[in-house]
Amino acid sequence: MDIPRGNIIVMDRRRGKLRVGQGLIQGLKVVWDHWAGSFHKNENFSQIHGTFTVEYPDERLPLPQTYRNMPVLLYDDESGHELCTGCYQCQRICPPQVIHITQAKDPVTGKMVPAATEFIIEYDACMSCGFCAEVCPFDSIKMDHVYELSTADRVSLTMRKAQLNRPISYYASIAPDLWAEVQAGAMKKLQGSIKRRPDVIGLAAVLTEKIKARRLELAAAAAAAPAAAAPAPAAPAAPAAKLTPEEKAAKLAAMKATNANKGVAAPPAKAPVELSPADAKAAKLAAIKAANAAKQAGAAAPPAEVPAELPPTDAKAAKLAAIKAANAAKKAAEQGNSE
């Protein structure tokens, strides 16, 4: 900053002759000017006479966005999820080794989850270098602007995760341009982390109400899951799929109705068996043989009528007719022998 100097009083003692006490008076005038000017508050640094003191703590100078004091951890205002994934990069880079992280684990599977169950920073030994904030790939750890941390209690400067947590909105208020630069990437990475976090893992500990609500939400989802997973009733079966009992019953009823319309007696109460084309051919052959036998025996029983072309659906009726004709032919032959 360019600070212009005020007027410089040059005391040239070689030129002319100073009267007795003149130097003293001029010196006192300088002191007087400065003392009188101290009652005047300067607006900027270009004014040399006056006070430059900021009336702290009533007044504070605005801090630049890049100001750094102590590191804090961010969490999302909306979801309550922390941006930290417990990747240990900040812990590794910290020169005085004051960061201590415990990675979260899935309570069911025991696998690592992208979140930190505990995150401790020893503020009393942190040197505000900002390395941790620079190296964090998830923009989770940021340098705070709060500098009034003096205390006589050293232990209270060991900050845990609950004390380090700050909402993103807070950081966006103190460093809007810096946050705008990384916001898109940080939020995208956070969504990826949330997908891999079971239960309430990764939620900011300060948001107890949100955690409770989240637990209730998960419980409701778990209760609704079996109902959603139940098979849909009366779903049409695929041609090659195995028939369910309901489908079998429906098919049987349909066949019975078809037979009743044709005037044919309903088949015995057993699972409908559809004859293959080979069986239909055999049934047709048996009917022809039975008719020929009845003819030869000269029986009165009417020969079985041979259907010209049997569709697969009539194969069973043809088979029955063939059996009947064969029985009739047998009877006729027996009668002929006895005569």
Residue 141, interface with ligand SF4 (CB under 6 A)? yes
Q: Which of 75, 76, 94, 275 binds ligand SF4 (CB under 6 A)?
A: 94
The radius of gyration of the chain from alpha carbons, rounded to an integer in Å, stands at 49
> Which residues lie closer than 8 Å to 315 by C-beta, 6 or more apart?
275, 279, 280, 283
**96 touches ligand SF4 by CB under 6 A:** yes
Task: Among 106, 117, 131, 306, indicate the residue that binds ligand SF4 (CB under 6 A).
Answer: 131
Q: What residues have CB less than 8 Å from 135, skipping those under 6 apart?
A: 89, 90, 93
The amino acid that residue 247 corresponds to is E
CB of 164 to ligand SF4, least distance (A): 10
Contact window for ligand SF4 (CB under 6 A) among 55-63, 138-146, 147-155, 169-177:
138-146
Residue 87 interacts with ligand SF4 (CB under 6 A): yes or no: yes
Distance between CA atoms of residues 174 and 223, nearest Å = 43
Q: Is 165 in the site for ligand SF4 (CB under 6 A)?
A: no
**CB of 282 closer than 8 Å to CB of 248:** no
CB of 155 to ligand SF4, least distance (A): 18
| Among 96-104, 176-184, 251-259, 308-316, the segment contacting ligand SF4 (CB under 6 A) | 96-104
Crossing angle for the helix pair 315-338 and 277-297, to the nearest 10 degrees: 20
Q: For residue 72, give the H/E element and its range.
A: strand 71-75
Complex with ligand SF4: residue 22 or 97, whichever CB lies closer: 97
Q: By CB under 6 A, is residue 132 in contact with ligand SF4?
A: yes
Distance CA 72, CA 166 (A): 7
Residues forming contacts to ligand SF4 in the complex (CB under 6 A) are 71, 84-90, 94-96, 98-99, 101, 121, 126-132, 136, 138, 140-141
